Amino acid sequence: MTTVAAALAAARAKLPVAEARLLLGHVLQRPAAWLIAHDDEAIDEDAMLGFASLVARRAGGEPVAYLVGHREFFGRDFAVSPAVLIPRPETELLVDIALKKLGAGALCVPGNPLRGQVTARIVDLGTGSGCIAITLALEVPRSQVTAVDASEAALHIASKNAEQLGAQLRIVRSDWFAALDGESFDLIVANPPYVAVADPHLAAGDLRHEPPTALASGADGLKDIRRIIAAAPAHLVPGGQLWLEHGYDQADEVCELLATAGFADTEQHRDLAGIVRVSGGRLRRQSI
């Protein structure tokens, strides 16, 4: 029989050691620490065949998250499939900003006397796996969160994640705001598609396997962002806020779109790489 050490050594010819260890741990249902401590443990034939299959698929370009069926986001594990975009660390910036704007940092501290007394109406557009909506629902006590997506398959994943993580939220199938006629929110968040349809990156790496409709948006990548920003004022209470993730080179155009649509106090935030990744603002209050 093959040992853990031998299996990982063979896989390293095709994959980085961290990926090989993650895939073997998934097959054996063991954490990385166990693999390191039991490198002389024998692996049975069925497990070895399963591991070899995953190694081959990863070497062929399939994302690790799809192979193991989950990805961590904001400290929680979310189920994923090829029906949804894989949650990315940079999107946690959008959640951080939303929480700050909602004042959730104080309200979510255990023992705080204000915990659970504030209700915010939030909508997450293009929810995918539900990672943003579910995180906000769990981090902001008693919030009323609506998760929207045009894909039935994506909403199935989001619903599964909400149930497993104990989040209360409403799930709506909709093309952006189409099914939300007459509804207003305190906060709108979105990580919409923002890659140009002809961008060569769509044909490379993990992006080849992710849903194109969750990635690409028109000739310049701004088609859906334009739609969201233009329609958002009709779905925000006075003083309500809109925050969006966007591409590394779209900050100036998004800021202009926000100003044109009537947003004030606009801000732009950089990710850990120093790239402006999230923009948003507050809907101007109409003067009487």
Whichever domain contains 119, its CATH number is 3.40.50.150
Determine the average pLDDT of the residues in 133-141. Answer: 94
In a domain? residue 76: no
In a domain? residue 174: yes
CA distances (Å), 63 to each of 122, 138, 194, in order? 31, 27, 20
Q: Is the pLDDT of residue 248 over 50?
A: yes
Q: Is the pLDDT of residue 141 over 90?
A: no
Q: What digits encode the pLDDT tens for the residues 108-118?
A: 444 444 444 55
Of 207, 183, 184, 185, give the one whose Cα is nearest residue 195. 207
Determine the average pLDDT of the residues in 42-69. Answer: 95
- 28 and 133 share a domain? no
Q: Is the pLDDT of residue 233 over 70?
A: yes
Look at residue 103 in the predicted model and tell me its pLDDT.
81
Domain coverage including residue 23: 2-60
Q: What is the mean pLDDT of the chain?
A: 91
Q: Is the pLDDT of residue 2 over 80?
A: yes
Q: Are 39 and 3 in contact, with CB atoms under 8 Å apart?
A: yes
Look at residue 286 in the predicted model and tell me its pLDDT.
59
pLDDT band at residue 287, thresholds of 50, 70 and 90? very low
In a domain? residue 65: no
Q: Is the pLDDT of residue 127 over 60?
A: yes
Q: What digits encode the pLDDT tens for the residues 159-175?
A: 999 999 999 999 999 99
As a whole-number percent, the residues of the chain with pLDDT over 90 amount to 84
Q: Is the pLDDT of residue 281 over 80?
A: yes
CA distances (Å), 219 to each of 15, 47, 175, in order? 35, 46, 19
- 46 and 174 share a domain? no
The residue that leads in pLDDT, 181 or 272, is 181
Q: Which residues contact 88 (CB under 8 A, 6 or more apart)?
A: none
- 35 and 139 share a domain? no
Query: Distance between CA atoms of 44 and 149, rounded to whole angstroms?
Result: 42
As a whole-number percent, the residues of the chain with pLDDT over 70 amount to 93
**How many structural domains compose the chain?**
2
- 166 and 41 share a domain? no
Look at residue 285 in the predicted model and tell me its pLDDT.
66
pLDDT band at residue 94, thresholds of 50, 70 and 90? very high
Look at residue 165 in the predicted model and tell me its pLDDT.
98
In a domain? residue 206: yes
Determine the average pLDDT of the residues in 219-223. Answer: 94
In a domain? residue 38: yes
In a domain? residue 67: no
- 185 and 223 share a domain? yes
Query: Distance between CA atoms of 22 and 25, rounded to whole angstroms?
Result: 5
Look at residue 111 in the predicted model and tell me its pLDDT.
44
Of 277, 280, 281, give the one whose Cα is nearest residue 89. 277
In a domain? residue 226: yes
- 150 and 88 share a domain? yes
Q: Is the pLDDT of residue 222 over 90?
A: yes
- 122 and 187 share a domain? yes
- 48 and 144 share a domain? no
Look at residue 153 in the predicted model and tell me its pLDDT.
97
- Say if pTM beats, i.e. exceeds, 0.85: yes
Query: Distance between CA atoms of 51 and 7, rounded to whole angstroms?
Result: 8
- 124 and 155 share a domain? yes
User: Got the DSSP string for 74-106?
Assistant: TTEEEE--TTSPPP-GGGHHHHHHHHHHHTHHH
Look at residue 77 in the predicted model and tell me its pLDDT.
97
Look at residue 186 in the predicted model and tell me its pLDDT.
95
Look at residue 205 in the predicted model and tell me its pLDDT.
83
pLDDT band at residue 275, thresholds of 50, 70 and 90? very high
